[in-house]
Amino acid sequence: MKGQYLDKAIYITKKATEEDKKKNYKEALSCYKIAVQYFMHAIKYEASSESAKESIRSKCTDYLKRAERIQSYLDCKSKSKTAVPSSCSQAESSDAAKDAGEPKDVPGGTPERAAPNDNTYNDDKEFSKYEAQISGAIMMIRPNVKWSDIAGLEKAKASLKETVILPVKFPQLFTGQRKPYKAILLFGPPGTGKSNLAQAVATEANNSTFFSISSADIMSKYVGESERLVKSLFQMARKHKPSIIFVDEVDALCGSRNDNESESARRVKTEFLVQMQGVGHNNDGILVLGATNIPWSLDSAIRRRFEKRIYIPLPEAVPRADMFQIHLGTTPNSLKDKDFQKLGKITKGYSGADICTVVREALMEPVRRVQEATHFKKVTGPSRENPEVTDSDLLTPCSSSSRGALEMSWVDVPTEKLLEPQVTMEDMLAAVGNTKPSVNSQDLSNLEKFADDFGVKG
């Protein structure tokens, strides 16, 4: 079995074991974690048989255990430097150092480790199995979406900043009875930026572990495994806090309980409720961030546990104008500020995703002009090979009556000599006319009623 994820996982694993042998434990730990991430992607997208999946899972478990031992060693080493003997005794430090020692090669390519001591979470084979499955939900690579990339939604962004960013940067602000929210629900029509907000949180919260969870990561065909996965998820979040657990389409996991649902689904919801706010669970430093388009279908107990419920409405005219500019980006265009303002006004009822679709449709218009053109003319513009150099022999589509028009099709134009036409206001207006809003009035009415009853507007 071959694939890009598996190849990368094997390459990074080799690097991890090399760093491990050199006793560069911090670098080895980082590589082990990234390798496990790629192994999990290989299981999802590239493994063609159950035996292949089981083989990869076995390797994930081994490397994950090794990473846990290295983490334990580094933690003990760090505590010993700060002279806190009660939290990390000399014996514990010695054991951890032994576990994090130089690995020996054994058949199968996995490093040999010391036998487990004590019945702890790290040495529990059952939890290690679930941890390997959940580790695929940890977002290792940040999505690079900043707050400034999201137009409008100032209240929602402020709430997320005070819950995620400020407690880490200024922990002295959140002492005593002042505590950040532990669970936030983002609800609103499809395409209004709920997932983008979660991506911005993942990008901006550099010191936090970000878990992106869907029903596919939790639900299992084996009895009892789904709720154990939920429990393992929260245990991993507590271990690696500060942590953020993002549950997209949370209604799929936590819909209203009824007599027609399966016993397995009921147990998953119960475990989710217990882990979010149950007796004996300390969730300080953990934020559960949920997103849904149909909040009224959530179970009332789950709804209560989301302390802050923020309505993400359809964008207003000014944010819509900003969205057109953001999505157009650096693509050559002839639009002015007044054009963007006009586009914002005429797209009432459009969501952010609808505007993205409009812009993508408009961006294809210059491509269609190139494809349909029967004549081209020579123009001056930046060279394709070096934009700082001017080239006077570039070709761009034109009408047959244009001065200097040459009869030719796009097939005859050399690749490096094509100057793409600019996106015009006419292209944008045509795209708006061809793209209808995706949200109907009935959905909006239901969402606004839920916001009036249980939420606040973002």
Where is pLDDT greater, at 123 or 224?
A: 224
pLDDT band at 340 (very low <50, low <70, confident <90, very high): very high
pLDDT band at 341 (very low <50, low <70, confident <90, very high): very high
Terminal Cα-to-Cα distance of the chain (whole angstroms): 47
pLDDT band at 227 (very low <50, low <70, confident <90, very high): confident
For CA atoms 282, 287, 288, 294, the dihedral sign is positive
What's the pLDDT at 121?
42
What's the pLDDT at 70?
85
> Does domain 317-437 correspond to CATH entry 1.10.8.60?
yes
Q: What is the mean pLDDT of residues 6-34?
A: 81
Report whether 454 contacts 309 (CB < 8 A).
yes
Q: What is the mean pLDDT of residues 17-30?
A: 83
pLDDT tens track for 359-396: 999 999 999 999 999 999 988 888 777 777 787 888 89
Domain ranges of the chain: 4-102, 147-314+448-457, 317-437
Chain mean pLDDT for the chain: 78
What's the pLDDT at 127?
57
pLDDT tens track for 384-432: 777 777 878 888 999 888 888 899 998 888 888 888 899 999 999 999 9
The answer, yes or no, to whether residue 240 has pLDDT greater than 70, is yes
Q: Considering the domain 4-102, what is its CATH architecture?
A: Up-down Bundle (1.20)
The answer, yes or no, to whether residue 111 has pLDDT greater than 50, is no
Q: What is the mean pLDDT of residues 302-330?
A: 89
The answer, yes or no, to whether residue 86 has pLDDT greater than 50, is no
Q: Which residues contact 8 (CB under 8 A, 6 or more apart)?
A: 38
Q: What is the mean pLDDT of residues 222-246?
A: 80
The answer, yes or no, to whether residue 99 has pLDDT greater than 50, is no
Q: What is the mean pLDDT of residues 7-23?
A: 81
Q: What is the mean pLDDT of residues 299-306?
A: 86
The answer, yes or no, to whether residue 204 has pLDDT greater than 60, is yes
What CATH code would you report for 147-314+448-457?
A: 3.40.50.300
Highest mean pLDDT, choosing among 131-145, 332-346, 436-450: 332-346
β-strand 406-407 against 375-382: which pairing, if any? antiparallel
What's the pLDDT at 389?
76
The DSSP code for 114 is P
Instruction: Return the structure tokens found at 360.
Output: 């993508």
Say how far apart CA 37 and CA 230 lie, in whole Å: 19
pLDDT band at 339 (very low <50, low <70, confident <90, very high): very high
Say how far apart CA 122 and CA 129 lie, in whole Å: 11
The answer, yes or no, to whether residue 104 has pLDDT greater than 70, is no
pLDDT tens track for 156-182: 888 888 888 888 778 888 888 888 888
What's the pLDDT at 4?
66
Q: Output the CA torsion 166→172→178→179 (10° steps).
A: 50
Q: In what order do the strands lie in the sheet with 375-382?
A: 390-398, 375-382, 406-407
pLDDT tens track for 275-293: 887 666 777 888 888 888 8
Highest mean pLDDT, choosing among 75-89, 213-227, 323-337: 323-337
The answer, yes or no, to whether residue 247 has pLDDT greater than 90, is no
Burial of 116 (0-12, 13-18, 19+ CB in 10 A): middle
Report whether 65 contacts 122 (CB < 8 A).
yes
pLDDT band at 345 (very low <50, low <70, confident <90, very high): very high
pLDDT band at 140 (very low <50, low <70, confident <90, very high): low
Residue type at 88? C
The answer, yes or no, to whether residue 143 has pLDDT greater than 80, is no
pTM exceeds 0.95, yes or no: no
Q: What is the mean pLDDT of residues 35-51?
A: 73
- Percent of the chain exceeding pLDDT 70 equals 83
Neighbouring-strand partners of residue 391: 381
